[in-house]
Amino acid sequence: MEVAAAKAIGAGIAVIALMGVGVGIGNIFSSLISAIARNPAVENKVFPRAILGFALTEAVALFALVIAFLILFA
């Protein structure tokens, strides 16, 4: 019983990283919209970099979920 509780607490702690990922993704796309609104001509240069930033930030979320699942089910 105690092991299951410890696993749940550990998985919950591992998932705290998802809050930071949500803030990071929101920041990336708000900056993208702001940059395109100020200068629409730079959309072709800024958009691929924003997608790269999104992908790298989302990778952190996937790693956090994998760690949480390993804690729960391993």
**42 falls in which pLDDT band (50, 70, 90)?**
very high
Domains of the chain as residue ranges with CATH = 2-73 (1.20.20.10)
pLDDT of 57 reads: 95
Compute the average pLDDT of residues 51-64. Answer: 95
Both tokens of residue 34?
């702001």
Q: Which of 57, 51, 50, 52 has its CA nearest to residue 21?
A: 57
User: Distance between CA atoms of 53 and 40, rounded to whole angstroms?
Assistant: 20
**5 falls in which pLDDT band (50, 70, 90)?**
very high
Tell me how far the alpha carbon of residue 64 is from its chain's centroid: 9
CA-based max dimension of the chain: 60
The one-letter amino acid at 29: F
Q: What percent of the chain stands above pLDDT 70?
A: 100
pLDDT at position 21 over 80: yes
pTM value surpassing 0.75: yes
